[in-house]
Structure 1
């Protein structure tokens, strides 16, 4: 029986971003039926929160051209919380019409990445967000904020803590009570996570903070562990480690959902997921994509998975 680590939360919530962040950069279009099959396998594994798609221009991100069809397949599932990324008013209108539970508005903490990512200045992004917030009033669709490059920018380097705090305050002022710190570039470290979480806890205490890590430099799980040490209970990850921002040089995938769930379980933090079924979902994702994915638990299995002695050769000599 795994014990508990002092100061860690009893439970954590994982939002699966593989259907959006994981698939968005895949060069070959994943058929809608296969996307639906993958999401269903994740539901079967116990996941309940999904960043399921994005309402962006199909010219910019062809992989997301079937957003309406994917949402329609799960819209009537009362146990599934569906969010979609929206970059502008056109995307917001489409997301509201499609019946999402929440829209994710995103901007970068650095000016240069925002220009690359959405071809807008940060100021222009927030002007658009104000219009979307007004449009969302009375629709029942919640707004969530995402801060990209919250831990560093591939073009500018260090991102000032003040920029992250100011952006979180701007989201709060638009009525958001859920904000994700995105490690878009894989530049997060445990110390940076602790610094930013503590700063936001002081600056926007009424807001739930979620953490989203990429494993570009191999410390994604260490950063998640640092988040647990600060009491953070909301995390985003991608099945099998799919993904990586297409507007970041040398970007690699997100932290794998099954790896994150394993770390949490072995730390005494419950996620309501079935690790065996998460591994099956990761293997399904690998078959759909047609190449090896970087997740580790899907290859090694959980800690106490045993093998017969006959399956391994005996040392000779």
Structure 2
């Protein structure tokens, strides 16, 4: 507790001492949390911003804890963009402290709460995996662009132009996704994954989505959860189940064995990107590439 208090005191003092709005080279110094947000800032800010992402490929934001190096990045930032809705569970206290003295922006706050998926099992009462709804991601793109323009009016038109280009790419992605999913019969649209990260995806594209763990990977699946889901897979003749890149695969492997023990063979259809993008420099290391990869993997495995 003492160490935690010292952490916050140091954080607040550092932030209070900070009074610059740009780096010496004239670029906004931006820190982001998840890989999805980092990729979005890259598309909108490009070379006109200095960007540091805290989380890398395969990192689970639900469990992520700030290191000493992260504290230095956060306190030196002109703005911190994070997802919100308690996705970054272990960082919530940090952002709440920072919010009183610095520019921290929870991007999900722009979304209409009435349209979000609620949950009695998650602290925020809303499913935080909003990036799996492309329309939500467009709203967040608009919001982030607006905020960048306010902080850096000299480059506001540059950000706007980049936004318009990116929104066109998201429109094309949406059309492609719907065409791909249309090739999968509706009765086969049952998506079983490690945790409940795909509910927005399921709601938008007509999938029944079942996660072995809850909305947060901090929760653990019990024996009864595994048995119940195994029975559902058998009853619905689900062909494949999926591992997630940011969740240990042992939970899905245990589910697969539980199904096999009852005489039904279910395959592991591949690894989906849920709470983080793929490796930097790859197609899956971008939001658009990740979404396309997930959809193709799901559809091919369930056919």
TM-score, length-normalised on structure 2?
A: 0.29
Higher relative contact order (CA 8 A, sep 6+): 1
Larger Rg: 2
